[in-house]
Structure 1
């Protein structure tokens, strides 16, 4: 595949220059619809060489990823998509190669966020159930495993299964929207606190889709600067929810602040239209990210 990048992290393995790398994917351990083995098969079929598994607020899929990577032809970078909050704004941060030990500040934040997500989901279902035929058991039926991180997508899938809405998009545009009377907030750390915790856990922090106008709103520059000061390593510029103007603005910010530029599909299987490999990260950038990690967590190689 040509020359290889200089990173020797994870047992001396090098990254081929022609490697196709997607740093943002989800499995059934959060709100994806593909199990980890299915995700690896789909990645191989999409012509990918490496993916990051970045389920929401959990490392529960890492053991499956380590096992599924063997013989798959696809390497897996263990990661998390960490949820953060700034006022009413939801901010997501990709955390790669963190120490998964339960004693870290990051683990404590994730545990608190997951517990809050579950309480929030139950409260929203209770509210929705007063007006629509859906209950908590319907949501539980959408979970792939007991340790799946519960979120609004699972409520959406329950609503679809019960015929209340046509699909996830309709659920998020209506009943599950922040403006909906059924909406309930949940705990998440401040974005700069989350970045600091990721770095302290030996990982690298990447601002995920920070300019998306399709979500609650774009991350303001002053907040991005606080995240940068806290140790942000990169910005996910290449994402389907960023238009050309937003990508150029983010590239300029990254260059001015010495941040790396990544790309990812934000793949959720059948849960979203995003396709594996539609946005990629260069091997040189991944090599630089791996070199910044200080934990003992390693890439899962085929």
Structure 2
């Protein structure tokens, strides 16, 4: 038994379709996966309809903010979960993201970057990263970093601030839907001690993550054990050979910890 519990698809900022991701996971010999696209359930719900040897654990990666820092909360659902409350919330968030994206595209047009508006209409989780990829795909000769520096970064001319959803509310929302909220990639959190999110009610920590140093992984495992939290692992797969994330099936939760995770999930 081994699980990769943090995977993205084209429904958010991943490069591969759900079908492709499932094939990759099968090839890697995984037994369980969770598709955790940003702020959408579409990928995970599609995976649940597929015929596969894998056990699909419904999941999501919720975008929240705390102390003006982006905090991602992974949510894992039992199969009997009622998704309607979360779907209603996500639909409202998607409308806000789409409106923001249109405003960014308008500013980009004024700066000489013209993009096809229709390309964002079918994206569930439109972000600045998605728009940066559109700029590159449209033939403009910039790297992704150059696009953020010149156009989309926090102080750049096409920047429009996003609606900031508080982390505490995100944790509460996931719990109200029957999900297990897990703090994603704590290695990326710089402003807030991990214990503060534990006080907010996260039930787990993504302690095993591809860019961790060994001592960081041990620190997160020790913290999870201290507070009797679930330990999860995930590649945060977006595409292959991605230095910011991992390759699918290479950062996994093994039998003992996976069984504990599944036990808690099935008791929700």
Query: Which interval holds the TM-score relative to the shorter structure?
Result: 0.7 to 0.9
The reply to whether residue 25 of structure 1 matches residue 1 of structure 2 is no
CA RMSD of aligned residues (A): 2.6
User: What is aligned with 2:239?
Assistant: 269
Q: 2:200 aligned to 213, 230, 236, which one?
A: 230
CA–CA distance in 2 between the matches of 1:250 and 1:179?
33
TM-score by structure 1 length? Answer: 0.77
Contact 1:84/1:191 (CA < 8 Å) preserved in 2? yes
The 5-angstrom pairing of residues 152-191 of structure 1 reads 152-168=128-144, 170-172=146-148, 175-191=151-167
Structure 2 unaligned runs (5+)?
A: none
Cα deviations by residue, 1:39-94 (Å, 9 ceiling, x for unpaired): 101111222221101111111123421222x1x32221110101101242111011
Select the structure with the greater relative contact order (CA < 8 A; seq sep ≥ 6): 1
Is 1:287 the counterpart of 2:267 in the alignment?
no
Equivalence for 2:69? 89
C-alpha contact 2:221 2:231 (8 A) present in aligned 1 = yes
The aligned residue for residue 210 of structure 1 is 186
CA contact (8 A) 1:265 1:279 kept: yes
Q: CA deviation at 1:285?
A: 2.4
* Structure 2: distance between partners of 1:53 and 1:25: 5
For 1:272 and 1:121, the matched residues in 2 are separated by 25
Q: Which has the higher helix share?
A: 2
Correspondence 1:149 to 2:125: yes
Alignment length, in residue pairs? Answer: 264
Shift of residue 95 of structure 1? 0.3
State the distance in 1 between where 2:19 and 2:145 align: 26
1:7 alignment counterpart = none
Match of 1:64 in 2: 46
SS of 1:261's equivalent? strand
